[in-house]
Structure 1
Amino acid sequence: MAKKSNPFPLQKISKLGFYLFLILFYSNCFLRPSGNLTNYDSYFPHSSGTSSIPKGKVRATFLGTSSILLDDGETQILTDGFFSRPSLWKTAFSKIESDPLTVLSVIERAKINRLKAIFVCHSHYDHVMDAPFVAKQTKAKLYGSSSTLNVGTGAGLNQDQMQKFILGKPISIGKFTVTVLESKHTPPFHILGKTNATDPNHPNIETPLIQPVKAMEFIEGGTFDFFIQHGKNRILIKSSTNFVKGALDNFNADVLFLGIAQISLQPVSFQDEYYKQTIEILKPKLIIPIHWDNFFKPLSEPLEPNLKLGDDFDANMKSILKRSEGQKLEIKLLQGFETIDLF
């Protein structure tokens, strides 16, 4: 009697098991946080900001990535406002769009109730995607590049509620004055054969972008820093880990919100120059690192460092801490919804 052939030979099963083991092993390695926040507990102020804002003070609330709410008790301004934070798998394999319920919950929890302006640093999805929806809900004006305005138009925002950046021209909003400065995006990364590098043939979003769309359809469209004055106090918000040499030469800042994503992945010469072109020139008293968190996780959960897949939070922090050692400046990290009175 002829023996039946085994459709799953042991050799094939063992190979399959081996490949599954490799997939699980590398997923476990690269999809883990790239740092342990408990090692930096002393850098967190652990403040909920429930008290009223003292007159003349400015309070900052960190809302993940480079979304920062500034509030002087009368007027609020916001950078980016990216709250939906779709998962890694949805971002990689599906179309994405603003999640109204999530955005509304953040608006309520962060007490965004007197917002007058939203400034978008560039038009990748993790900065601009929710900005039009936030503007609609709060009646705030959206400020950005032509690419950002095309995202706003695609979301149905009225033209009179949007304004294109004019580099170097101060914009007065309540007691705040915001000046938009030219900058550069963090050097491009390459992960699993994909890159966020801008196609020189298509550097901008040229037509209204109607969500849902693929993440790569959110084209950078230029990157910008924000110099913000409030009375005699000065803030510089630098969302991306890069610089235009000499762009900040004529500025000083009391507080620097500093993008640190992927800084340790760059050559040491770049890290040195980045420190020089930001911290050494601006001479801030306080540095608050931003764009360090894993923005694939919901903002409703405690923030975790970026994934090992594309970043190294521990090394990023060491890059800044080592170079600032012995300097008369303070470094603070903020959790999601955590606040700090800047002045």
Structure 2
Amino acid sequence: MIQCPMRILFIGISLFLFVKCSFQASGNLSSYESYFPHENPNTIIGKGKIRATFLGTSSILLDDGETQILTDGFFSRPSLWKTAFSKIESDHLLIQSVLEKAKIYRLKGVFVCHSHYDHVMDAPYVAKFTNAKLYGSSSTMNVGIGAGLNQENMELFQLRKPIKLGKFSVTVLESKHTPPFKIFGKTNATDPNFPDITSPLSQPLKATEYIEGGTFDFLIQNGKHKILIKSSTNYVAGAYDRINVDVLFLGIAQLSLQPISFQESYYNETVQKLKPRLVVPIHWDNFFLPLAKPLEPNLKLGDDFDSNMNLLLQRTNKDQIQVQLLQGFESIDLF
């Protein structure tokens, strides 16, 4: 008679500890203090210079002093509970405050990596509020239409055809999404019967209504400088065989959760082939927390930031490649 309540108590305590542990950050940023720049350039961007500002997840602002381009622009960042249990929508006032704080006044293009909500949800509104053009897949175009964008403010991706915006040239490369995973029995894998968003989406929406619709990398050139932005932790074998870049923004989410053979191939097909002098990890932060607060690593529930970073640092140290981490709204001059 006593054993049953004790067993229930034990199960309850175990469940509580599991949940508490799962919802903690998967790493301690203080361990990587030397990889943060500790300064934010506020000077005018000099001729031939390019400044990068990290705005969380895979939202990266590039600015050469004349033209700005942005990937994704996911700023609303609804909470985990709201995302999991209700419909979500863009916070227009919050988006406008980020645009002001990040000094996004000369934006010409918003390039969406893929059409999951943590990449595409705010992108049409960023384009609308800045009079920039939204670039993306057919799925992204449908998100744009649902947000009220006009056709002249959107452009469908054409793979490997350079897009000229000021001195920037952006080439869209086909890629792959981070391998599917399950949390509490639910998966983010794309349903092969419904791989794209086929009709306009109007907010509010469930997060699951934002279908991937293809994943893309961006090769960006400005003068003699080359940058590659890869948001998702996956690769297309041989895609970078004849490409070298100066700077690589590299998605590291869930890297250490993949088989060792995948980890090695991912590094070899990206960092090793591109031969950058600088790698900036992205998509490492908990995007259920607001951008206004210091960024924290992804939750233990679905990631392991410390292991991801250790894997990357082991290889880049051996190859003598610099690694730089950025906090939210933190900027560095790349060149």
TM-score (norm 1): 0.95
Contact 2:221–2:227 (CA<8 Å) still a contact in 1?
A: yes
CA distance in 2, matches of 1:116, 1:38: 36
Which residue identity is paired with 2:187? T
Q: Partners in 1 of 2:91 and 2:6 — Cα distance?
A: 43
* CA–CA separation in structure 1 for the residues paired with 2:250 and 2:290: 22
The equivalent position to 1:155 in structure 2, one of 147, 151, 168, is 147
1:56 correspondence with 2:48: yes
Within-5 A mapping of 1:1-343: 17-343=9-335
Residues 21/172 of structure 1: CA separation in 2 closer, same or farther (3 Å cut): same
- Give the Cα separation in 1 of the matches to 2:7 and 2:274: 57
Task: Give, in angstroms, the shift of residue 104 of structure 1.
Answer: 1.1
The offset of 1:78, in angstroms, is 0.1
Distance 2:87 2:258 in 1: 30
Give the drift of 1:17.
4.6
Give the paired residue count. 335
In 2: Cα distance, 1:93 partner to 1:295 partner: 16
Amino acid across the alignment from 2:172: V
Distance 1:126 1:334 in 2: 19
In structure 1, what residue type is equivalent to 2:276?
A: P
Q: Residue 33 of structure 1 aligns to which amino acid in structure 2?
A: A
The letter of the residue matching 1:235 is I
Larger-Rg structure: 1
Shift of the 135–325 alpha-carbon distance from structure 1 to 2, 3 Å rule, reads same
AA aligned to 1:179 is T
Where structure 1 has 5 or more consecutive residues not aligned to the other structure, the ranges are 1-8
Distance 1:98 1:135 in 2: 13
Greater than 6 Å deviation, 4+ residue runs: 9-13
* CA deviation after TM superposition for structure 1 residue 272, in Å: 0.6
Structure 1: distance between partners of 2:167 and 2:295:
31
Q: What SS does structure 2 have at the residue aligned with 1:185?
A: coil
Secondary structure, aligned partner of 1:137: helix
The DSSP-based 3-state class of the residue aligned with 1:325 is helix
Displacement of 1:50 in angstroms is 1.7
Instruction: Report the Cα offset of residue 102 of structure 1.
Output: 1.3
Q: CA deviation at 1:82?
A: 0.2
What SS class does the counterpart of residue 218 from structure 2 fall into?
strand
Q: Secondary structure at the match of 1:118?
A: strand
CA distance in 2, matches of 1:323, 1:247: 20
Greater CA drift, 188-197 or 326-335:
326-335
